[in-house]
Structures are given as structure tokens and as C-alpha cells.
Amino acid sequence: MASVTDTGSEVRAPDHAPSPPIKPGAAPRAASRRRVRGVPSPLTLRILAVNVLALLLLVGALLYLGRYQDRLVQAELDALETEARIFASALGEGAVQRAADEPELGQESYELSPELGRQMIRRLALATETHTRLYGPDGRLLSDSRVLTGSPGKIEIQELPLPPSGDPASRAVNEFYARFIDVVPSRENLPLYREPPGHAAESAAPPPNVERALAGENSATVWRLASPVARSNLLLTVAVPVQRYREVLGAVLLSRSGTVIDEAIRSVRTDILRVFAVALLVTVLMSLYLAGTIARPIRKLAQAADRLRTGHGRHTEIPDFTRRGDEIGELSGVLRDMTAALWTRMDAIERFAADVAHEIKNPLTSLRSAVETVSRIQDPARRDKLMAIIADDVQRLDRLISDISNASRLDAELSRATLESVDIGAMLRTLADIHRTTAEDDDENEDGAETEAPPQVVIEPPRGGALTVRGLEGRLTQVFQNLIANALSFSPPGGQVRLAARRTPDGAVEVTVSDDGPGIPEGKEEAIFERFYTERPAGEKFGTHSGLGLSISKQIVEAHGGAIRANNRLGPGGETIGAIFTVRLPRP
């Protein structure tokens, strides 16, 4: 067991570690990461872009309304065809007269009366507000609901485009919308309709759907107007044959503007845009709120970390967001723990450096004094004694530096090494066998002189099944070697060092190393694990131990997630009969 005597004055470490030097002309890296005040963070812009883009795509798909427009057009064509059939039936009954040419014997022939047709067309079209035209069997225009005939001549009624209304902004919106409906959905694939000017319509060739109607079939066509009328560039036409006893006497053509269709689509789009405006406002507000709950805490954490990096002392703390209960709260907690661990590690490094300087200074002081003195001593015996002191101090420095080097490399080795399965029971048996074999070899080398029996290492059978843990076999072996060597150094001649291991109910492995020595000084159960704490048995040569063995053992055990503690063994009367060290390693 290695307990420690305080080796002298304490060397205090500085309050903080010095900041790393900055090369001339090099600005701190944090300066390039500082955000300009008032400018949204990139994360906020990304969140806004993702949410708004998804909403825009959805609204864009809704505004297309291609299938909705097709259904409206089809419904309007069906209604127009129904009207055309009614007109054709009425004309076939009331606007026909016997043909002027005598038919063959026993047959009657009929023809459309232009005058009767004009009168009926005017009355029928007046009720439906539909542009209605009547064509004869030769394709000649007989009557047009927009052409009024009288004694002075003919008057043609034309539907003019609506004048621009509203302020310039409204007109700009209307013009944009008029262009927009040509694109979404596209109407460029529709046939272009051109109305013959003035009286040229009478001699103009009939439209294609009139020709099909004169052939005896109904025909419907959707046209695109070059000059939109009443804010619509759609024109729907339906041609139906006028028949009398299945004889085609002519064709009636009904035309209607797509204003109703465009107004219905515009109404739906207006409702969608209103909902979109509300949804966009909510989306932007929620995105800003979401970005604030994400970007702002992260920015605060980054700024605090940067202040810790560039500042001096420990005045800056990482903000505590652990109450959020989310990933940012977890990040905050981890950063706070990491910062605390870094400060703890820095404190440990500073204390270690101070302790190392103090421990090395002692033998160096002794060595310097001996070297300065030996040159002035003439007595060979005293000179030999000083040379022996110098040799001891050199050996002590060499041992101390080796132990310090081993301790300083331990952290890096434990962090890089890969854990493996280690059988603690087999390890303890091997260490006991090594000590037994070494003790027997030492007995054989004795020249027959009577000597005291050395302490024995006794191992109890392991309990609780296989005692396997995850760890570094070499380092765990070093732990138990240190504990056994420590116990042997304090055990009296003929005493025993007992090794025991068991599997605890929670799955951990517990190993105990006990001896029959004087025990641990009262109140030093924790201090014996501090670096350079040495309190050796009486009569042992000074400087043979560096005081790092138990400290290294504790460091190794804690790196494996375990714990080590020391206590005194008590006899029946409460007296101290030895020391016992307990190592607990977690379940694999």
C-alpha cells in the first residue's frame, strides 16, 4: 500500500491556462463567423425557403385547375348543345315552308324560310343571350341574331371589349391574370377563331363544325380568340342540324363566350390565393419562430464557446438550455459538461505540472548540493558517501521521470485503444503463479542462511461464474500488479496477501486485495490515491517509490468505467489488522 507523506511546500498553479499565441497579421477565426446584426441567419433563411417552397408548390398545383377548367368547358358545351337542339327542333317545326320546286309525284319537299328563321332566331337568342346563326343547306348564312334587318338596311350588333377599370395597380393585376390564364393551363393549343368582318360573313365559308352539322351530326368546338371579349379569350360553339322528317334543311350554330368559365376559375383561384396568403403568413411566422428556437440558441452556444476560446479566466459560461428537453437542450448540457471536463482536465494538468516540478526539484536540489560539496571534500570515505548519494538521486530522478512519462501517456493510450474481452479470474491466477514462482526462485538462490519467510499471495476461487469484462488487458494487469506489490510491501514476514473475485448481482466484477499490514492512516483512505503521495513502511529506503502507482491504478480503473476504494480490515475487537483494496469493474 502506498500512502503519502506531504513532500514539502505546495506549488500553486495559475488561475487559468494562457491563451495560445496568435500569429502576427492573423485575425482570430471567430471574426469571420460573426453575423452582421439585423441580417437573418443562414439557418433561418433555409427554414423559410423549405417551408415557403413547399407551400408555393402546393398552391401552384392548386392554381393550375386544368381538370376543373375541362369540366367547366364540358358542362358549358353540354348546356349549349341542349339549347342548340331546342333551337333546331323549333326551327324544324316553325321556320320551314314547302319547296318552290315541285317534288316528284307522291313526295313532299321542305325548305327553311329565311324570314321566319330570322324572326325565330331573334326571339330564341334574346331569351338565352347566345349568339345564334342559321345556315342553309348550301352553307349560306341565312340569319344572325346580332344582325337586325329593317327598311333602312341592316344593323350589326358587336360585343366590344370592356374598357379598363380601376387604378393602374388593378389594371396591372388584371392584365397579368389575363396573361396568366393563357399559360396555366395553356390555351395555345386551341384553334384560333377569326370572325369575318361586317357583311363579309354572309359570303364567307361556314365554320368546320357547321359543315359537319350539315352532314347530319352534332359538332362542338372550343376556340381561342385573338382579341379577348369581356375578359375572356375562350369561345364555345355548337352546331346542330335542322331537320324535318330526317331531312337536313340547314344548321344552327350557337356561340358563347367563356366568360362564365373564366369567372368561375378566377373565383376559385381568388379563394385559393386568400387561403394561400393566410397560410403563407402563418408559415412565415411559424418558420421564424422555429428558426428562432433553433438558430438563436445555437448562436448563443457558439458565441459562448468562442468567448471561452478567446477570453481569459472562467467568467463565461455555456448557456443552460437543458430544460427545453430537445436536442438543443441536450447539446447545451453536453457542451456544459464538456466545458467542465476541460476545465477539470486543465486544472489536473496544471496541478500535475506543479507536482512534477516540485517532485523533480527535490532530488535535483539534493544532487546539486552533493555535486557542489564533493569537489571540496578530500576525505575518500566522505567522497564515496557523497557519490553514493549522487547515484541514488540519479536513480530516483530516472525512476520518477519514467513514472511521470507513463502517467502522462496513459490518457492518450486509453482514449485510442480498442477494448477487448478480459478474464479477470485467469489474470489473478496468473499473477499469483508468477509471484509464487518468483518467491521459490528467490528461496533457491539463498546460500542456506536463515531468513524470514516472505509474504505469500493466496487466491480464493472466483465466485459467480466467468469473470469477464471489457477492457485493456495490459492496463488491468498493471492495476492488480500495483495493488499486489503495494500489499506485499506492507505485509509482515510470513503474512498473506489474499486475492478474491466475484460477480455481483448487478453483473459487475468485484476484486479485493487484502493484506496483514498496519493498515491505512486514519482519514487517508482517499489521499493515498493522489499523485506523489508516499508513506512507506519503516525501514524502507527513501526514494524507492514515486507515489504514482495507486494514482495510475485509479486512473486506469475509472477509464474502464469502474471504481477503486481502500479501507482498513478490522479484527474482532475493532483493531486494524490490515488494509483491503476493492476494484469494481462494470458488466460487459
Position 21 scores a pLDDT of: 45
Q: For residue 136, what are the contacts with CB-CB under 8 A and spacing of at least 6? A: 112, 114, 142, 250
More confident residue, 5 or 17: 17
User: How much is the average pLDDT of 533-549?
Assistant: 58
Residue 183: the pLDDT is 58
Helix axes 66-94, 259-310, angle to 10 degrees: 180
Per-residue model confidence as pLDDT tens digits over 253-286 = 998 888 888 888 888 888 888 888 888 899 888 8
- Reported as a single tens digit per residue, the pLDDT across 89-128 is 888 888 777 766 655 545 567 788 888 888 888 888 777 7
* pLDDT at position 585: 92
Measured from the Cβ of residue 548, the count of other Cβ atoms closer than 10 Å reads 25
For the whole model, what pTM was predicted?
0.49
pLDDT score at 581: 92
Contact criterion met (CB below 8 Å) for 162 and 262: no
Closest by CA to 537, choosing from 510, 554, 519, is 519
Check residue 538 and give its pLDDT: 52
- Residue range 30-86, pLDDT digits in tens: 444 555 555 677 878 888 888 888 888 877 777 677 788 888 889 999 999 999 998
Measured at the CA of 407, the angle between CA 406 and CA 412, to 5 degrees, comes to 90
Q: In angstroms, rounded to a whole number, what is the distance separating the alpha carbons of residues 542 and 194?
A: 119
Domains of the chain: 60-270 (3.30.450.20), 317-416 (1.10.287.130), 417-443+453-588 (3.30.565.10)
At 274 the pLDDT is: 86
The pLDDT assigned to 293 comes to: 84
Q: Which residues face 420 on adjacent strands?
A: 471
- The reported pLDDT for the residue numbered 26 is 44
Higher pLDDT, 352 or 100: 352
Question: Could you give the count of Cα atoms lying within 13 Å of 403 in the half-sphere of its Cβ?
Answer: 26
pLDDT, greater one: 41 or 326? 326
230, three cell numbers: 369581356
Confidence tier at 313 by pLDDT (50, 70, 90): low
Residue entry with cell 569537489: 375
pLDDT, tens only, 422-449: 898 888 888 888 888 877 666 555 555 5
- The span from the CA of 69 to the CA of 23, in Å, is 70
Mean of the pLDDT values across residues 295-314? 83
| 473-517 residue pLDDT tens | 888 998 998 899 888 888 888 888 999 999 888 889 999 999 888
Secondary structure letter of residue 107 according to DSSP: -
Give me the pLDDT at residue 389, please: 78
Q: What is the mean pLDDT of the chain?
A: 77
> Which residue, chain included where needed, has cell 474481452?
421
pLDDT band at residue 10, thresholds of 50, 70 and 90? very low
Question: Which residue's C-alpha cell is 524470514?
Answer: 452
The DSSP letter of residue 251 is E
The pLDDT of residue 584 is above 90: yes
Calpha distance 286→52 (Å, rounded): 11
Closest CA to 367 of 340, 349, 394, 347: 394
Query: CA-CA distance, 7 to 370, in Å (whole number)?
Result: 20
pLDDT at 570: 86
pLDDT for 349 equals 77
- The Cα angle at residue 513 between residues 507 and 514, in degrees rounded to 5: 130
Does the pLDDT of residue 577 top 80, yes or no? Answer: yes
Per-residue pLDDT, 174: 64
pLDDT at residue 574 is higher than 70: yes
